[in-house]
Amino acid sequence: MSNVIDSKYNRRIRDTDRRRFKSLVLSNDRRKEQRRQRSVDIANEFNQKFLKPGGRHSRRTKERRGFLCPANIFPENSILREKEAIHGTIVNISSQGLAIALSSGADWLTSCNEVTITWGPSTVLSGRIIWKDFNSYYLNNGNSYLIGIELNKTANNKSTLRFSPPLEKNLTRIESISDIPSVDFYPLYIGGRDVDTGIYGFSADTAKLILNPSETLLNQETILNGSIPDNNFKSTYAAYCIAYDNYIDEAIDAAFNAWQEFRHTSIHKRKRLFYDFYDNIKNHRSQLIDLMVKEGHPLRLAEWEHAGMVKAYEPKTINFYLKQLFRKLGNDGDEQLFLARKPDGVVCVMPPGNAPCPNSLLAAFALLGGNTLIIKPPLRNPISTMYLWRKVIGDVLQSNKISPGVVNLIIGDSEGILKKWLASPKVSDIVYFGDSHTGLNIGSQIYSSGKKPILELSGNDTMVIWKDANLEGAADSLIEGFNGSMQICMVARRAVIHPAIYDQFQSIILDKIKKISAGLPDDKTSYLAPVGKIELFYEYLLDALRKGAQLIYGGTRINYAGSPDPSGIFITPTLITVEDIPIAETMKCTLEEGFFPLLTLINASDRSSKIESDDIIFSRIMTFLDQNTYGLRTSVWIESKRYMKKFIKSIQGSGIIRINLLHTGFSAFVGTHGGPKRSGGPFGELNYLWEKTTHLQGIALRE
């Protein structure tokens, strides 16, 4: 009978948790649908109010410089459509190819699988888009490639493309991976052995992609079609294996079999392993940073990422974690009482696409708890992650004679691999990194399959700057958030500032922002990286300006050299100000995570001329923080001990609070990731992976 009662109780708990997941998922669905509602009204309003002479803010925009948003940012048909033919008119035919004017914006073209260009009743060009870079289009129409270069965009939103004569595929075929000895090869790693599946992906150096996108991307397509390009892999630096069904099953079996032995590994031996991990992470610094730079991370960002990896694995932190795995509570008469954390089993990990290497290392803490791992790097830019797990972690496991299969490394279709993990009774936990909408849906699937979801999702962090703060320190902390063009989760995208120092701080931060530069990834002075969501950036910026924000600096599309370029893939760091919190609470840029270089300064006043008490200002700031639907980090810059204690006590919705410290910094003991709300789902909190991937057990004994 007790088992029946327990079953009903557990089912009731599971149903409640499922409803919590569903509520979060539906909330995210609504937000995503709202983001899709784009129309020509956005472009018209932007042009009328913010660009044309005489429009509101036109003089201010000119005086503050740096703002460039050409009309073609918002094409006339800005709703992207799938599998729809594009029709255009030939404007010139020459030996260089066809020049074609398309009636729709280029963004529409890139969304289509099939493209047809017609002239009168005849079809002149038809093919499938195989790749699109910043202003070039690559079509495959059967046995040939065509490269379309965007020549210009006219005032009536027509894009002119020139397609070069077809490049015939009469190239040398690749028969095996040994045909390309100049390229580093990364096989899968399953059951303690390197596995060549015979199916390969290739990684191009981002710097070469930026400098010569047409040649680099065409070379990639040539290689993927099994041929050696004319320049013999000059832009390709690595090849990697791709897994399919059998290999995914093999990895699950290998991890499960290894767990049968590894879960009994002593605490002392696990400690030795993690000390060696720490040493190896430091020893491979240059290799890891070099690979992350090749994947497009600015050198400054890659160095910060590596420093965070080292900090997280310091021996004093490892010792602290190990003490939590088995603790004696005390005695009760002749009974001895203990708490122990026991491993869950096989833990599967999907790191994020933007920074897979440093984020995936978080998962190694599952080994501390006695679990085994399957790591699936993203198909795009997997090399630094593969190097980390094969050379840095894998070599330590081998040198310590740990059971083969404790760590397994596979790459392939994420959806197919996830289905395998969900269906396998041998998998216990799944760690997923990604955006909140996708992650909460996946978390619901994981939970429904009877496994433990561990979610690392989006963030929309806030910095609070009190009236007695170190303003230079606070400004420097915000500036560091522009590393990689704010395309990482744990940066402060909004700062709430005490009215007494609002104007002073604005002047300080503006001087620092003007010094931020773009560049190639290996440029030591560069902060900025290519922006992946340029259209969304301008949508959020326009929304803020339309609702009353002031553009102080930035908003310009630029090339890697920093010159204004309507087709540039970089955006100058952008600063906007909002004069009170109620207005800020209506803006997309303060409500949602934005993966682009847009910083919002918010005045914590009520816009009246009266002087308010600090208690009222504190209460207003806390209400704003409490309404944040994300929960990674909150930082506060303050000297007052009284209000410092009030902030620490009152801030509830963040996984990490940092006081007078770099917002993106790392500290011993307290972990690096995690948070509640849409950042971690219904079970989100500061994320100790050694704890999340284990379960608590009470022990009472009498000797």
Query: Which residue, 499, 527, 500, 524, is CA-closest to 513?
Result: 527
Q: Which residues on neighbouring strands pair with residue 138, listed in sequence order?
A: 131, 147
Query: Which residue, 278, 367, 363, is CA-closest to 322?
Result: 367
CA distances in angstroms from 303 to 254, 299, 383, 524, 632, listed in the order given: 34, 6, 17, 10, 22
Find the angle CA(498)-CA(503)-CA(507) to the nearest 5 degrees. 125
**Per-residue burial over 116-129, b = 16 or more CB atoms within 10 Å of its CB, e = otherwise:** bbbeeeeeebebeb
Helix, strand, or coil (residue 389): helix
* Measured distance CA(195)–CA(454) in Å, rounded: 28
Find the angle CA(295)-CA(299)-CA(303) to the nearest 5 degrees. 105
Element (H, E) at 321: helix 315-325
Q: How many CB atoms lie within 10 A of CB 300?
A: 19
C-beta of residue 436 within 8 angstroms of C-beta of residue 457: yes
Amino acid at 403: S
Element (H, E) at 31: helix 2-36
CA distances in angstroms from 540 to 72, 320, 431, 586, 596, listed in the order given: 16, 43, 30, 11, 10
Element (H, E) at 339: strand 335-343
C-beta of residue 196 within 8 angstroms of C-beta of residue 177: yes
C-beta of residue 372 within 8 angstroms of C-beta of residue 406: yes
Give the rounded distance of the alpha carbon of 376 from its chain centre.
15
For strand 88-94 and strand 550-553, is the pairing parallel, antiparallel, or unpaired?
A: unpaired
Helix, strand, or coil (residue 686): strand
Concerning whether 535 is annotated as a catalytic residue, the answer is no
Which tokens is 559 given? 């090339």
* Measured distance CA(425)–CA(419) in Å, rounded: 12
Residues in the chain: 703
Handedness of CA 394, 398, 400, 402 (dihedral sign): positive
Ramachandran quadrant class, 191 (left: phi over 0; alpha: psi -120 to 50; beta: rest) = left
**Which listed residue (150, 250, 456, 592) is catalytic?**
456
Helix, strand, or coil (residue 120): coil
For strand 461-465 and strand 407-409, is the pairing parallel, antiparallel, or unpaired?
A: unpaired
Backbone angles phi, psi at 148, to 5 degrees: -105, 125
Write the DSSP assignment of 30-67 as a string of letters: HHHHHHH---HHHHHHHIIIIISTTSTTHHHHHHH---
- Show Cβ contacts of residue 328 under 8 Å, excluding neighbours closer than 6 positions: 336, 337, 338
Catalytic machinery residues: 456
